Amino acid sequence: MHKSVKYVALAIMLSLALGLMVSGALTERVVNKWAAAESMKTSRSGACAALLPDGRVLITGGKDDSGVLSSAEFLAGTGDAAPMAHARAGHLCVALNDATVLVAGGPHLG
């Protein structure tokens, strides 16, 4: 077998394998669909939401009628979350691979 034929065959096999992986991943996603969720325990504005690797969404901080919040909660009633060390609003948050959430910025009261 010619060297170029081997490379073409390898490229085709890799393309098919990649195509199967991508098509399998895409069929599991729900796109353009909204679903009702339970109400959050605390109404808040200026909060941050982070999507965790297990699919849960953590809502941190924000403001309510009493002021800036340090509380955090999971969306859709999937459990309680520990409060942050400082109350924050207008901050950023990002989920890390180990399911911890990095929170940064925003005015805080400490």
Structural domain boundaries in the chain: 1-33, 48-109
49-79, pLDDT tens digit by residue? 999 988 889 999 999 999 999 999 998 777 7
Place of tokens 């999507």: 51
Tell which wins on pLDDT, 17 or 13. 13
What are the DSSP E strand ranges found in the chain? Answer: 48-51, 57-60, 63-64, 67-68, 72-74, 87-88, 92-95, 101-104, 108-109
18-39, pLDDT tens digit by residue? 454 444 444 455 567 877 777 8
* pLDDT above 70 for 10: no
Q: What is the pLDDT of residue 103?
A: 94
